[in-house]
Structure 1
Amino acid sequence: MRVIGTAGHVDHGKSTLVQRLTGIDPDRLQEEKQRQMTIDLGFAWLTLGHIQVGVVDVPGHRDFIENMLAGVGGIDAVMLVIAADEGVMPQTREHLAILDLLGIENGVVVLTKIDMVDDAEWLDLVELDIQDLLANTRLHQAPIVRVSAYTGQGIPQLVETLTMLLNTIPPRPNYNQPRLPIDRVFTISGFGTVVTGTLMGGTLRLGDDVELQPSGIRGRIRGLQNYKQSVEICYPGSRVAVNLTGVDKNDIQRGDVLSHPGQIKPS
């Protein structure tokens, strides 16, 4: 299991690209659909070869940079999305700087909206600008793939490139110390509190006692899901939804960490 994230300037086609790759619209909020702009984190999934892949779609607008930070913290690789008609823009640079600070070195640059550019020389110039931008970053070796999410041009090449990249990334280690940095919390009628995140460090099982930090509130796992499928155990490196008993939604916020009791001590 792997998790990839998007990054890039607002309106450069991140969510449209995710929907083209997965068949899932990551923009789930009504306000996002009305404004045609990603505001909060979106989630989707697909299978590449034998690898199950979760996709975290992040907002590109500068006003939602905190949401972007919450989304890219646990990813294995990134798709840095740059629109061919605009090229490198302010949030392209800002998101790239964040990826560099977080040590993310596995990625693909996706040059989107190529259907909107008729000039081949312009595309070549944009690619040169991207190469200059990446030169002194951890993504300096990232391949550039030209695509149109609207027409589908270049999508097979992108799928092939992502598959090859993810096959080179080793599985997440299992230290028998699970921790789940929470990036979303909500309630489902009849089930109660649900949290989601990318699992690290160990496995979570149905019925496990768990603890939230920094609050120290304890609960129990009532249900587990990987990509909308109910499971009894979740492994490191996977996107996980955890249904909790004994914990109220209002006691949890984005950035809290779920673990086994006594495993993590807040500093």
Structure 2
Amino acid sequence: MDGGLHRSRALCRTAGLRVVRASVAVTATTTIRVVGTAGHVDHGKSTLITALTGMDPDRLREERERGMTIDLGFAWMTTPSGMEIGFVDVPGHQDFIRNMLAGVGGIDAVLLVVAADEGVRPQTREHLAIIGLLGVERGVVALTKRDLVDDTWAALARDELVAALAGTPLAGAPIVEVSAKTRVGLDALVGALEAALAAAPARRVTGRPRLPVDRAFTMAGFGTVVTGTLLDGDLRVGEEVELVPGGARARIRGLQTHRRAIDVAVAGSRVAANLSGIEKDAVERGMVASRPGTLRPTSAVALRLAVLREAAVEQDEELKVHVRTAEVMARVSVLEKDAIVGGESAWVHLRLAEPIAAVVGDRVVVRRPSPSETLGGGVIADVAPVRTRRRDAIVALERRSAPTPLVRLLASLDIPRTASDAADRSGLDARERDAAVQEGLANGEIVALGDALAARSIATDARKRRSPSGG
């Protein structure tokens, strides 16, 4: 890429980072893992990331003056075994939960940080709940500030932490006692992170890349830069992208991962994309950069909403909805009952105040706007729900969330569609799509209609309507 090194250095200067020569080449086959922090305010998340990586993730002057993370911060490292890890450092204060949610949607594992001198605090518990709602299944717990407490106090803090983790995705996760000040335990922490990430599944690749934007800024001489965690496919320098919602188009002038100029950004990696042909004011957090025509905005989503034990959701209640980096107000229509009490779940339609870019399979977290409270979450089953009788809507959603790819694909073949379109509506990757199509054609449940496919029942009904005798 012409000017790649110069652009790389300029990008780093803009982000307030020092420039280093790349020691590991990033290619289309490189596996890069992303870890998000979680934990209560002032428990040492940013300090720990700085000790691990040598980079201060707090990039805003106000953050450094207040000694508190306000927005998302980023850092990275190469472990002794050669593993590439990017860190998304999130704020711990309750006033900035919205920023925390924007940062943890695309991570492979979580690094939960709990200070040994304070123990489990309110945002520790709320972050744990959010981790569960987002489906994050692996992580490591750092018991920080170990230099401030004696062995007896540390043992009490560990016991309290084990109790708090029970019943959460991090129950049984390794707990590593560390001190960012003395560097005690840091090597063990890196080893525990490596082990957790080694067990993480490969990132899903559908061939339709999405870059949910968590940050946009202008770089003098180069224009607009957006950052995010790349999902579902690769992006290349020179490609055209569309910003959804909105439909504005731009071309990728340059790409970076971990300060290094690259030609191809791989799914699952932290990416900075230099975009030409678009002004920074036309881009905002919550938008998604994708290949033109592959992603449509939606103003309604359907999901099975699981409500936290201490919360409740009322019929037609106004909620704040978080999907990837997007945040939007919505009204909830509960399909199975008049309300969802704590600890229960039900199918719902969320009618969004503004359109967002979302796909089947994306995780949703809902919060009450005032007083601010996390209520629950779930997995999107439909991004184009239609108004129909409640019972019919529930049956359709049950099929869309079935455990087998074929049943989910059949639910999307309610009208003739291409295999690719039906797979997108079903949340299937290319491998699952091809296997389901082959199985459906073989057993007769799917019928080919030219370039399209349809469920046999739909095709049969269509033939009956076209037949003069109706048979």
The TM tier, using the shorter chain, reads over 0.9
The answer to whether residue 119 in structure 2 is matched with residue 87 in structure 1 is yes
**Corresponding residue of 1:107:** 139
Q: CA deviation at 1:51?
A: 1.7
**Corresponding residue of 1:33:** 64
**Corresponding residue of 2:100:** 68
Amino acid in structure 1 at the alignment position of 2:128: L
5+ residue gaps, structure 1:
none
Amino acid in structure 1 at the alignment position of 2:295: I
Number of aligned residues: 266
For the pair shown, the structure with the greater C-alpha radius of gyration is 2
In 2, Cα distance between equivalents of 1:186 and 1:198:
16
- TM-score of the superposed pair, with normalisation by structure 2: 0.56
Q: How does 1:203-218 map to 2 (within 5 A)?
A: 203-218=234-249
In 1, Cα distance between equivalents of 2:33 and 2:83:
7
Match of 1:124 among 152, 155, 163: 155
Amino acid in structure 1 at the alignment position of 2:58: D
Ranges of 4+ aligned residues in structure 1 off by more than 2 Å: none
**RMSD of aligned Cα (Å):** 0.8
Q: Counterpart of 2:170 in 1: which secondary structure?
A: coil
Deviation digits for residues 14-71 of structure 1, max 9, x if unmatched? 0000000000010111111111111111100001222211100001111111110111
In 2, Cα distance between equivalents of 1:207 and 1:256:
20
In 1, Cα distance between equivalents of 2:167 and 2:194:
25
In 1, Cα distance between equivalents of 2:228 and 2:83:
19
In 2, Cα distance between equivalents of 1:47 and 1:174:
24
**Corresponding residue of 1:52:** 84
Deviation digits for residues 194-222 of structure 1, max 9, x if unmatched? 00000010000000010011111111101
The answer to whether residue 249 in structure 2 is matched with residue 235 in structure 1 is no
Q: CA deviation at 1:174?
A: 2.0
- TM-score of the superposed pair, with normalisation by structure 1: 0.98
Percent of residue pairs bearing the same amino acid type: 60
Q: Counterpart of 1:87 in 2: which secondary structure?
A: coil
The answer to whether residue 42 in structure 2 is matched with residue 11 in structure 1 is yes
Amino acid in structure 2 at the alignment position of 1:211: E
In 2, Cα distance between equivalents of 1:252 and 1:141:
41
**Corresponding residue of 2:193:** 162
Q: CA deviation at 1:168?
A: 1.2
Q: CA deviation at 1:165?
A: 1.2
In 2, Cα distance between equivalents of 1:264 and 1:50:
35
Match of 2:203 among 153, 172, 185: 172
**Corresponding residue of 2:175:** 144
